[in-house]
Chains A and B, each alone.
Chain A
Amino acid sequence: MKFSPWWTDWRRLALLIALFALSACAHVEPWERGRLAQSRMALVEDPLLSAMNDHVYTAKEAASGGAGPAGGGCGCN
């Protein structure tokens, strides 16, 4: 497989833009956001658990990234 940067990956980029363009039509009033404010709805509810998950899976798999700014590597083998 030949690597190409993300901006040439038009299908995924178009899908992402279309998704957010559609979603921009939605309107949720402030008083309707109570459920979104529950901790279980957070994108990262438990930072320590998320960090440990990333650490373990990155050490055992070839893929990594996608969880925000990366930390340092480790000599995990």
Chain B
Amino acid sequence: MAPGQRAGAAAATESKMARYSKAIRSLLATSLGLPGMQDLLAKELPEEGTDYRYTFYDEDPIPQNRLAFGDPRRYEIESHQFRVVKNIDDSYGLELNFQHETMSGSSPWYAVPGPDGPLQVMSGATIRERRNQADAGVRFLRGDWSHRAAVGYSSENDYVARYGSYSVERESADSLRVTSWGVSYSNDDVTPTDAREFGRVESADRDALSGSLSVTQVLSRNTVLQGGVSLTRQSGFLSDPYKLVWIGGAVIAENRPDERRMLTWTARLRHFVEGPEAALTMDYRYFRDDWDVAAHTLDISWKQPIGETWEVIPSVRYHAQSAPDFYAPYFLSQPGGIHWSSDYRLGTFGALSYRLHARLKGEKWSLSMGAEYYDSDESLALATPHFDSPGLVSFWRLSAALRFRY
């Protein structure tokens, strides 16, 4: 380009810049880099900072008219999460995450026939345990490519997971599209408590290998869409060692297949609504597997700024799933196949979740508070449920979070 042409192009750019807000001109002044787009596009490292989040999770007790025996009080979990992001230079960045949870309460074991439908049997003794999880990741940029590798470890008294992942993203020349590929692997050990006393498996392991592909596309100045697909293969001991099944009066351990192949399709939309200056977010996932589970999940949020410093985010999530053939709350006679489970989480049901978050933002920090109520029920299912599942859960979740940016 000749110097005269260059000057003309610069003048045209200046003219366009003048039409935009001060904030956007400020962004343009920094070589057209858009700091908020590092999540969307691949040429930027994440913002440096430290995050802390506290969550209190509390399940509603099993109603007395659906309880056969056991402790009706269900799980309470307190969780502390920490995250640190530090960039070494313009090309390398580190991420560290740590999570500590304490859990207490009783858990559904199995269901028995009752006069008006299945009744839930809960574990009698209160379960108390802790879980610690740590993972570390490194991200590095090479031209239009961004790479991320991470390893992690999770430990509780009866379960250990070791996992790793690698993903790579490539940004298109016009910076309007990012294509991402990822693989992850997890190796988990299961060592149930009181195994001999209750006839549980004493030690077992399972593996999971997953691959994913996604494409993120800027559709307009207000809209971004991401589509993705992932495949996961789990193998090994995939049963829950604490779950039991009532079969013709006998109570035995559940027995799930030792392999599971899972498929997800996802679509994520972000749309800026010009009048209220709000963001509408919609996440949809279609899931199915070779156990005959199919599920639809839709999560919608409205992120509304109020003044310069506040933001309010109401959101709703709907999930509906169908049950595998080997699921029933109980079996009056020996099932035809070799697998059986009465774990309510495999049943046909739907769940609605309502959330409200509020966030106060400073220049380098933010404080947010949030609440969620989650309710699952057979009547919310899309498929016709064949059974009542008395163990279906409802819970409250309250959280508070602090974020600092360097």
Contacts A5-B231, A62-B293 known; A41 to B279 CB distance under 8 Å? yes
Interface Cβ pair total, 8 Å cutoff: 245
Contacts A62-B346, A70-B165 known; A39 to B217 CB distance under 8 Å? no
**B:11-57 near A, CB below 8 Å:** 13, 16-17, 20-21, 23-24, 27-28, 32, 34-37, 39-40, 51, 53, 55, 57
Contact B51 A20 (CB under 8 A): no
- Does B202 belong to the interface (CB within 8 Å)? no
Proximity string of chain A (33-49) to chain B, C-beta cutoff 8 Å, 1 when within and 0 when not: 11111111111111111
Proximity string of chain B (153-170) to chain A, C-beta cutoff 8 Å, 1 when within and 0 when not: 110101101110111000
The residues of B that contact A9 with a CB separation of less than 8 Å are 263, 265
Contact B264 A69 (CB under 8 A): no
Proximity string of chain B (380-394) to chain A, C-beta cutoff 8 Å, 1 when within and 0 when not: 000000000000010
Contact A70 B186 (CB under 8 A): yes
The residues of A that contact B303 with a CB separation of less than 8 Å are 40
Minimum CB–CB distance for B325 against chain A, Å: 9
Contact A69 B159 (CB under 8 A): no
- 16 other A-B residue contacts (CB within 8 Å) besides A36-B270, A49-B53, A61-B345: A3-B289, A6-B263, A12-B265, A30-B175, A36-B34, A38-B272, A41-B36, A46-B403, A57-B319, A63-B287, A63-B293, A66-B287, A69-B166, A69-B182, A69-B183, A73-B161
Question: Which residues on A are within 8 Å of B, measured CB to CB?
Answer: 1, 3, 5-6, 9, 12, 16, 19-20, 23-24, 26-49, 51-52, 56-57, 60-75, 77
Would you mind naming 10 contact pairs between A and B with Cβ atoms under 8 Å apart? Answer: A5-B263, A28-B176, A34-B23, A37-B36, A41-B270, A60-B345, A66-B230, A69-B150, A69-B167, A72-B186
Question: Which residues on B are within 8 Å of A, measured CB to CB?
Answer: 13, 16-17, 20-21, 23-24, 27-28, 32, 34-37, 39-40, 51, 53, 55, 57, 79, 81, 83, 97, 99, 107, 131, 133, 135, 150, 152-154, 156, 158-159, 161-163, 165-167, 174-177, 182-184, 186, 188, 190, 206, 208, 210, 212, 215-222, 224-232, 240, 242-243, 261-266, 268, 270, 272, 278-279, 285-290, 292-295, 297, 303, 305, 311, 319, 321, 323-324, 345-346, 351, 368, 370, 374, 376, 393, 395, 397, 399, 401, 403
